[in-house]
Structure 1
Amino acid sequence: MIPVYGYEGQNVAVLGLGRSGMATAKALVAGGAEPILWDDSVEARAAAESEGYTLRDLSKHEAFDDIAALIVSPGIPHLYPEPNKIIQAAWTAGVPVDNDIGLFFRSFGQGDWMDHDTPPRVITVTGSNGKSTTSALIHHILTETGTPSQLAGNIGRGVLDIDPPQDGEVVVLELSSYQTELARALTPDIAVFTNLSPDHLDRHAGIGGYFAAKRRLFAEGGPDRAIIGVDEVEGQYMANQLVEGFADDRLIRISSGQKLKGAGWNIYAQKGFLSEWRKGRQAGSIDLREIAGLPGAHNHQNACAAYAACRAIGTAPKLIGAALNSFAGLPHRSQVVGEKDGVRFVNDSKATNVDAAAKALQAFKSIRWIAGGMGKEGGIADLSDHLGAVAKAYLIGFSAKDFALQLGQTPYELCETMAVAVAKAAAEAEAGDTVLLAPAAASFDQYPNFERRGDDFIAEVEAYLA
């Protein structure tokens, strides 16, 4: 646990009692504060009360009279699509609003920090797609090369729930826009921006607000080194803003698909090969084509980002290359479930938006595509240029009929359920095909989350393979 400092003897309100909220309450107690908890859920409140915590309805008049700060769980919208009433009451009362990420950076460098010969460091990863794989890949490389590391944030453990860092340890945090938009302290040593595509637009009042939430990690945090994906204009803009020129090696530019030029520090992947260039000279190269855990150009971008982060802390290219080859991938992200009669089954349930689905569709040559769920604004219209490898689409969920209208000449079948879709795709697939779950939609019409959707796909595939 990372104790929260700065509120000793004071009341601190915590709104939202999920994983991060309860970890925050424990960390506040460890730092000498008195947490005051609230959640709309009766069950969550009862669970907190059973652990001895004090509850207070924060929607009541004068609820913030003796409160030093309000800590909000990331899943609670605070400003858009409309202000949260409790958070607005805190604003009116002049009570600072923060989240667990802000508390982490406020407290991480305290406690036993001065006892370390080599101070621990923090690497953060944000972006629309690939941040989970990139974070896990950085953690994997560090572990494989002998650097103590913990993985937390939007993946793994809550940030305040990690163990006190060892000497020389590197903490890797995956941060979503929900986490970066509200944190009052953002001070990573190294910050990674993978890419940007439309997502969570209601929460951020459009693409500009979404980008602004991501950009806070770099503009307000001021990391010692920034690693920026420059395959979209937002990344190009941010890279330009952060340094005096590309020769300034506080910036590492990364790309998948284009050769990066200039005197600065550039890492890119082309035709399956990763190349590192620094000060106009090649410093490293890795063949990514046969790494089973990193299929497709989108995963090659993830490899570039992870490689850059590890190079930024001094890891040798050869050691990074060896670690990349042992990476097995993450569940629900281009996860190979099995193969039968030359047909491969791949679970990419995490492809919940069009951009992620497009990257998955570009990773394989002949695809039986399972898609659908709770479609997002615009549906799959923007996938029209990425359907060339799709032999047939098998559509499930709430938006199946809407998706069908946007497929053009691509053959499709309305399957409604995962069981029907897998059975149909498996029966019609031929040797060399890939049955790919890449929904391009949220899961909430049929499943509580994308993990459960992926688990259902895996169960149906394993039943077929048995």
Structure 2
Amino acid sequence: MIPVQGVEGQTIAVLGLGRSGLTAAKALRAGGANVLVWDDNADARDKAEVEGFPATDLTRQNAFDGVNLLVVSPGIPHLYPTPNRVIAAAMDAMVPVDNDIGLFFRSISNPDWEMFEQPPRVVTVTGSNGKSTTSALIHHILTNAGRPAQLAGNIGRGVLDLDTPEEGEVIVLELSSYQTDLARALTPDIAVFTNLSPDHLDRHGGLGGYFAAKRRLFAEGGPDRAIIGVDEAEGRYLAGQLSVAPEDDRVIRISSGQKLSGPGWLVYARKGFLTEWRKGRQVASIDLRDIAGLPGAHNHQNACCAYAVCRSLGLAPRVIEDGFKTYGGLPHRSQLLGEKNGVKFVNDSKATNVDAAAKALGAFKNIRWICGGLEKEGGLDGLKPQLCNVTKAYVIGREAAEFALKLGDVEKDICTTMEAAVAVAAAEAQPGDVVLLAPACASFDQYNSFEKRGDDFAAQVAKVLNA
């Protein structure tokens, strides 16, 4: 655990007692703070009490008298669409609001670092899609190369639950827009921006607010090196803002699908090959086409981001390539579950928005596509360029019929349940087909999370594979 620094003797309230909130409460207590906790959920309050944190009702009048800081879990809205009532009360009482990411960055360094020949480094990864895979891939490459590394944030452990970093260690953090938007301190050594597509628009007051939340990691974080995906206008804008000249290699530009040129530091993937250019010369090239854990152009973009981070940390191209080849992928993200009679079954339940689903559809041919769920804002137009890869769609969700109507001329079955969708898709699939779960929707109409949805898909696929 990383004790929070600079809070000794202060009274600090924690709102939300899930993984990050309860860990923050423990880290604050370890730092000498008097900690008040609250969660609207009674079960969460009971768990906190077992850990020695009796609940204090932060919804009561004058609850913030004498409170120095409110620490908020990332799922709780602080501004849009409307502030949570506890956060609104804290702001009315002029109490600052922070989250565990802000506490982490103000507490991560310690006097022991002055004795290190190679101090620890913090790498942060944000963007709309690919954050988890990029973060996990960086961590895998580093550990595969024998470098000490820890993985946390929006993936794995809570940031304050990390072990105190040792000399030369790399902390890899996946950060969502919810986390970067509110953190009062952001000081990464290396920061990655994968891409941007519409998501969480209600939470950020529109696309501009969503981008602004991610931009904070760079504009206010001031990383020593910024790795920026430039396949969207926002990425090109951000890279331009952070560069002082075209040859400024503190910014590494990343692309998947287009060749980049110029005097700066460039890493791009095109036709299955990753290429690194620096100062107008090619430095290295890696064939990604047969790397099982990184299928499709979207994963090639993730590979480019991870490659750029590891090169910034001093790893050689061949060492990084070895890491690529041994990377097994993450559950629910282009995860190959198995193959039977020439038919592959792929779980991409994490494709919860149109852009992510489009990238999944672009990674395969002859797709038996399982899709549907709780549709997000923006419609399905972004899927149209990839629908040529779909042989047939099998629609799930409570509003399956309505979703199916939006798929146009694509052949489709309204299955409603995962069990029915997998059974029909498997029965109709031919050798060379891919049965792909890439919902393009949130899961909450039928499941508690995209993980639960993916687990259900895997369970139904297991029945087919074992039949």
**TM-score (norm. length: structure 2):** 0.98
C-alpha contact (below 8 Å) 2:198/2:378 kept by paired residues = no
Aligned position for 1:283: 283
Deviates more, 1:101-110 or 1:404-413: 404-413
Match of 1:150 in 2: 150
| Residue in structure 2 matched with residue 83 of structure 1 by the alignment | 83
Q: Deviations over 1:305-351 (max 9, x none)?
A: 00000001111111001110110100000000010111110000000
Cα distance in 2, alignment partners of residues 255 and 57 from structure 1: 49
Q: Bigger shift: 108-117 or 21-30?
A: 108-117
Q: Is the 8 A contact 1:381 1:406 kept in 2?
A: no
Matched with 2:391 is 391
What is aligned with 1:127? 127
Shift of 1:111: 5.3
Report if aligned partners of 2:204, 2:210 keep a CA contact under 8 Å in 1.
yes
Structure 1: which amino acid aligns with 2:189? D
Corresponding residue number in structure 1 for 2:28 = 28
RMSD: 0.9
Determine helix, strand or coil for the equivalent of 1:151: strand
Q: Which residue of 2 aligns with 1:258?
A: 258
Determine whether 1:160 maps to 2:145: no
The one-letter code sitting in structure 2 at the alignment partner of 1:280 is G
Q: What is the aligned partner in structure 2 of residue 207 from structure 1?
A: 207
CA contact (8 A) 1:277 1:283 kept: yes
Matches within 5 A, 1:54-133: 54-110=54-110, 112-133=112-133
Residues 364-403 of structure 1: per-residue CA shift (max 9 Å, x gap): 0110000011111234232122100101000000231222
- The residue aligned with 2:414 is 414
| Residue type of the alignment partner of 1:360 | A
- Aligned 8 A contact 1:375 1:398 in 2: no
Residue 331 of structure 2 is matched in structure 1 by: 331
In 2: Cα distance, 1:227 partner to 1:51 partner: 40
| Cα distance in 1 for residues equivalent to 2:273 and 2:140 | 20
Query: Retained in 2: the 8 A contact 1:266–1:277?
Result: yes
Q: Secondary structure at the match of 1:124?
A: strand
Instruction: Give aligned-pair identity as a percent.
Output: 70
What residue number does 2:342 align with?
Answer: 342
Runs of 5+ consecutive residues of structure 2 not aligned to the other structure: none
After TM superposition, give the deviation of residue 81 of structure 1 in Å: 0.2
Paired with 2:399 and 2:109, the residues of 1 have a C-alpha distance of 47
User: How far does the alpha carbon of each residue in 1:223-277 deviate from its partner, in whole angstroms, 9 at most, with x for none?
Assistant: 0000000000000000000111220011000000001110000000000000000
1:112 Cα deviation after fit: 3.3
- Partner-residue secondary structure (3-state), 1:67: coil
CA contact (8 A) 2:121 2:168 kept: yes
- Asked whether the equivalents of residues 193 and 229 of structure 2 are also in contact (C-alpha less than 8 Å), the reply is yes
Contact kept, 8 Å, 1:7 with 1:68, in 2: the verdict is: no
Q: Kindly indicate whether residue 30 of structure 2 is the aligned counterpart of residue 7 of structure 1.
A: no
Pairing 1:38–2:42 present: no
4+ long deviations beyond 4 Å? none
1:132 alignment partner AA: S
When residues 111 and 44 of structure 1 are mapped into structure 2, their CA distance, relative to the original with a 3 A threshold, is farther
2 CA distance for matches of 1:431 and 1:185?
53
| Matched residue type, 2:325 | N
Question: How do 1:189-338 residues align onto structure 2 when only pairs under 5 Å count?
Answer: 189-338=189-338
**8 Å CA contact 2:272, 2:300 repeated in 1:** yes
Q: Determine if contact 1:367/1:436 at 8 Å carries over to the other structure.
A: yes
Deviation digits for residues 95-146 of structure 1 (CA, Å, limit 9, x no counterpart): 1110000000000012533342211000000000000000000000000111
Alpha-carbon spacing, 1:111–1:448, altered in 2? closer, same or farther (3 Å): farther
Q: How many residues align?
A: 466
Letter of the 2:141 counterpart: I
Contact 2:45/2:54 (CA < 8 Å) preserved in 1?
no
Amino acid at match of 2:78: H
CA-CA distance at 1:65 after TM superposition:
1.4
The one-letter amino acid paired with 2:20 is: S
CA–CA distance in 2 between the matches of 1:403 and 1:93? 45
CA contact (8 A) 1:379 1:403 kept: no
**Which whole-Å CA distance do the structure 2 matches of 1:402 and 1:197 have between them?**
23
Is residue 2:170 matched to residue 1:170? yes
Partners of 2:448 and 2:372 in 1: CA distance:
15
SS at match of 1:318: helix
Q: Look up the SS of the partner of 1:46 in the other structure.
A: helix
Residue type of the partner of 1:89?
Answer: A
Matches of 1:185 and 1:252, distance apart in 2: 23
| Mean CA deviation greater in 418-427 or 84-93 | 84-93
Q: Is the CA contact 1:384–1:408 (under 8 Å) kept in the aligned structure 2?
A: no
1:434-459 Cα offsets, whole Å, 9 max, x none, are: 00000000001111000111111111
- Residue 55 of structure 1 aligns to a residue whose secondary structure is coil
Matched with 1:450 is 450
Give deviations 1:146-176, integer Å, cap 9, x for gaps: 1100000000000000101011000000000
TM superposition shift of 1:28: 0.6
| Separation of aligned partners in 1, 2:93 and 2:114 | 37
Q: Matched residues in 1 for 2:461 and 2:246: separation?
A: 48
